[in-house]
Structure 1
């Protein structure tokens, strides 16, 4: 999602937050800036957890959170909590190593625990359909998109 898909009001609101978080004014958010934001918001997270949040937001894995990546994240966390939070719980239970991505093995394990027995070929096909960025894993955003 880019800012073009948002209403003008939301785009401006998210941009204000982004600019407040961008304390050094370089046009992107660092791990440190995200960590400070989460701490100010009252979250008591370890460095590993902050890193996981950062990687979830940093879609292209370049170590910088752009405004478009921030727009996407803000829209994700501002969706109605009923479906998103339930799907987050399912995703988190499947993400056994806590890296914010579902590997093939994690997906198979999670589906098995839910009573679904898929062949490797079916799992490969499922991943191919869900993995929109082509990195071989399923992010929460990709997982969520499958249910919308």
Structure 2
């Protein structure tokens, strides 16, 4: 569902979303971000999930962590007091797989079944994680999880990347 992001990345995304600089991200702004990465919620669903009309940076980080923990918890059990306590065991693995497939599709811009460093860079720039003069090398990010050394991430490699990031 979510790509692995560092705390610095999340701070940068939060700052980009907080257009008026009040230290709060509204549900509209949060929903805009989620839609751009392929996650669909109605504002009502998002409000019931979050429980308030806006989030400060700590709540935003907790929201990301909660969703990431759910993503990495294939058993469907809820550890660490996640926001959504209504997630059941039945079908959770299928839901995780569907969410991962959606996230993979967000990064696989040309639909060829692989994520290239160019596609990764394009999506991260669109999300405001990478700036034009950023020194971050997307090839290196991919290389870490590219088990067959073809310079691309297939779905299995992407899945490994997502689950490994949520465990650490």
Q: TM-score, normalised to structure 1's length? A: 0.45
Structure 1 or 2: larger helix share? 1
Q: Choose between structure 1 and 2 for higher RCO, CA contacts under 8 A separated by at least 6 residues.
A: 2
